[in-house]
Copies of this chain bind each other. A is one copy, B any other.
Amino acid sequence: MKRLMDFSENERWRMSKLHNRENWENAVREGKADEKMLSLCNYINSTKNFFTSSGCAGRIMLLGLYGKGTKEESYFHRKWHRAVKFAELWRGLEAKSTGTLWFKMEPFIIHIGTKSLGDADSLLNVMRNAGVKRGGIIVAKKGKCIAEFVGTQSISLPVKKGAKILIEREYMKQILDEANSKLRKNYELLKRLEKAAKEKLE
């Protein structure tokens, strides 16, 4: 019985690792992977005991919300995975949109899979030591644990309702400066996280 269980745990782990590595390689090939995550995710997927199942290095966007503003009632009006210039942001703001547009700067998010709870627990420690404050194990099955880590830098405010822009150009400029600066800090944390992962995860 013991051997059977071990086999099915090992099997679950082997399948997860393989499946997620294929997904990652496809995403890279198709240019769908977030460039700023390439180096970190490539490393993690090259380890014996860990894989990445999804990741975004952080982004700035104009998010459209209508109705109750659920995920199904929202759309990306503009989305950038990099620092943004004021002119392109303002052009996006002036372009035709429906519902309420929110300006948002969101931090990185990454999901990392491991075989054992022990490995997941080590991962939590590595991340915390690297300065990542928000993270936890969101799946804890035998043979498959997944931990989620999220940065803490964020900005979120409504900027347009229907056809009416709610804020002054000058203020939008200040907000964008803050957002670009927070995105930079967020990338720095991601670099520290990558360094820690390369030193500690096998």
| Interface positions of A (Cβ within 8 A of B) | 117, 120-121, 124, 134-138, 140, 147-148, 150, 154-158, 166-168, 171, 174-175, 178
Contact = CB atoms under 8 A, between A and B. Distances in A.
Contacts of A136: 135-138, 147-148
Nearest to A166: B171
Contact of A138 (B135, B157, B171): B135
Contact of A178 (B117, B154, B158, B178): B158
B156 A140 contact: no
Nearest to A100: B178
Contacts of A134: 150
A166 to B, nearest CB: 6
Nearest to A141: B121
A11 to B, nearest CB: 20
* Most chain B beta carbons < 10 A, residue from A134, A140, A178: A140
A162 to B, nearest CB: 13
A150 B140 CA distance: 19
Given A136-B138, A137-B136, A167-B167, A175 B155 contact: no
A147 to B, nearest CB: 7
A154 B102 CA distance: 12
